[in-house]
Amino acid sequence: MDSLLLLTLIIALVFAAIGISSPLMTLYLEALGASYAQIAVILATVAAVSLFSSYGWGRASDALGRRKPLIVAGLGGLIVTYLLLSQATSATAAWVVRLIEAAFAAAYSTASLAFVGDLLAQRDRRGQRMGTYRGIGSLAFAGGAFVGGRLADALSLRTVFIACAVLYALAAGVALLLRETRVPPIERAAATAEPGARSAPASMWPNYMATLGHSNTTISTLWGLAGLVEAPALRLTGQLSDVMGRSVLLAAGGIGAAVVMLGYILLSRLLPALVGVQVVRGVVFAAYTGNAMTFAVESADASTRGRHSGLFNTVTGAGQLAGLLLGGTLAQTGGFPFMFAVFGAAGLLAGVCFLLLRGRASVPRPPLPKPN
């Protein structure tokens, strides 16, 4: 089977697991006794591990000239950590496991992005193809989110993490089937990176929804709805970026994030309106994510694509880390609306930066299709 199809199946399984667990992770930490401020510290340190390990994994994949070993190792580590997470008896124990999980997740995400970049390097419509690849992940995320809350309400939060371990095991099995051509490593290669900005995710959003009286099922369904919208939106925004350029869509993602944060402040008590906000969130997330991934991998050749992918994940992680350090603390001291206002301002600033950088960005154009 074609390696790109196998990678697409893997991302579907991985994102299904993420969809099942991520809307409920902070609720699980809270159930284990963590305060909002402690949750913020846990999430921030997890992001820090991911941040510092991503670039290292990228360099390792370039040095090996291969991506598959890191993908398999990363997925194998996720199996073990999610089984351990399901048995955690305290927030501290869950914290330790999540730190280890972050390192393995970084290995998978960095190596898989570089692998996709290798496969797309000589193909046209890279934005559309990357959007389709990532969109399948979002579709699986939505399915996982729809299931996760119901699974937690029907059984327990611990059951959710066991289900994730099973999905990661399936993904690891598929990864063993991957075929790749070894890229000869080079001793030195200049790494470049496009400056980027990404608004911090509202990691405390599930807790905010819970304070408004929404059930686990409602919370995970709303989260899944955004993922469901992301799937076609990623392909569409990828197509648009192939024509209009990456910077325009990246700017739309940043400015749109500010609009979504405003929606959370004003409309979260009205469930029908909140559904609309989640639809907009799906489009906004797609505009940024798929095009940022494409930009990261198309600015490098095969010998340096691993470190570019790692650098992309590192910079993204730095933005997440800043937000996570603030998120719980802002919610604890100023309330959730204040937290969303700060994140909205960050998104608006990111959008403006992308617009200012538009004239300076030099992105390789996709190669023209070969005539039949």
Query: Rounded to whole angstroms, how far apart are CA atoms 27 and 34?
Result: 9
Query: For the whole prediction, is pTM greater than 0.85?
Result: no
pLDDT at 300: 64
Structure tokens that stand for 248 in this block: 């325009």
Structural domain includes residue 326: yes
Q: Let me know if residue 308 belongs to a domain.
A: yes
Contacts of 171 (CB under 8 A, 6+ apart): 10, 13, 14, 17, 75
Question: Is the CB of residue 117 less than 8 Å from the CB of residue 309?
Answer: yes
pLDDT digits (tens, 9 = 90+) for 98-109: 999 999 999 998
Choose between 300 and 353: higher pLDDT: 353
| Helical spans, DSSP H, in the chain | 3-31, 36-64, 68-86, 91-120, 126-154, 157-175, 205-211, 216-244, 246-267, 271-298, 305-334, 336-357
**pLDDT of 63-86, one tens digit each?**
888 889 999 999 999 999 999 999
Instruction: Give me the CATH number covering residue 344.
Output: 1.20.1250.20
Q: Is 216 within the bounds of a domain?
A: yes
Per residue in 114-147, pLDDT tens?
888 778 777 667 777 887 888 888 888 888 888 8
Domain range holding 260?
A: 3-179+194-357
pLDDT at position 187 is 37
Which residue has better confidence, 163 or 217?
163
Within a 13 Å sphere around the CA of 136, how many CA atoms are in the beta-carbon half?
A: 16
The answer to whether 179 and 97 are in contact (CB under 8 A) is no
Cα–Cα distance measured from residue 63 to residue 59, given in angstroms and rounded to the nearest whole number: 6
- Give a yes or no: residue 160 inside a domain: yes
Only one residue has tokens 């100023």, namely 334
Residue 363 φ then ψ, to 5°? -110, 130
Give the separation between CA 57 and CA 66, rounded to whole angstroms.
11
- How far are the Cα atoms of 19, 87, 99, 109 from residue 42, in angstroms, in the given order? 19, 18, 9, 20
Residue 369 covered by a domain: no
Higher pLDDT, residue 251 or 194: 251
Q: Two tokens at 16?
A: 């299904």
Output the pLDDT for position 194: 32
Q: What is the per-residue DSSP string for 174-216?
A: HHTT---PPPPP-S-----------PPP-TTHHHHHHHTT--H
CA distance 25 to 33: 13
**Which of 117, 329, 326, 358 lies closest to 254 in space, CA to CA?**
358
- Integer Cα distance of 181 and 331 in angstroms: 49
Q: How far is CA 189 from CA 109, 272, 371, in A?
A: 22, 52, 34
Instruction: Please return the burial class of 92, using the count of CB atoms within 10 Å of its CB with bins 0-12, 13-18 and 19+.
Output: middle
What is the biggest distance separating any 2 CA atoms in the chain, rounded to whole angstroms?
A: 64
The predicted model gives 340-349 an average pLDDT of 87
Secondary structure (DSSP) of 108-151: HHHHHHHHHHHHHTT-S-HHHHHHHHHHHHHHHHHHHHHHHHHH
- Number of domains the chain is built from: 1
Residue 364 domain-assigned (yes or no): no
For position 246, what pLDDT does the model report? 77
- Whether 106 contacts 55, CB under 8 Å: no
- Find the mean pLDDT for residues 228-254: 83
- Local structure of 44: helix, strand or coil: helix
Quote the CA–CA distance of 201 and 110 in Å, as a whole number: 20
8 Å CB contact between 180 and 115: yes
- The 10s digit of each residue's pLDDT in 8-52 is 999 999 999 998 888 788 888 888 888 877 887 888 888 888 888
Q: What is the pLDDT of residue 372?
A: 45
Residue with tokens 């000589």: 122
Instruction: Quote the pLDDT of residue 259.
Output: 92
Determine the length of the chain.
372
Give domain status of residue 367, yes or no: no
Distance of CA 105 to the CA centre of its chain: 11
Q: 270 is written with which tokens?
A: 């009205």
210 domain residue, yes or no: yes
**For residue range 277-326, what is the model confidence (pLDDT) as tens digits?**
999 998 988 888 877 777 777 766 666 777 777 777 777 777 767 776 67
Higher model confidence: residue 369 or residue 10? 10
Pair of tokens at residue 356: 């200012």
Give Cα 222 to chain centroid, integer Å: 17
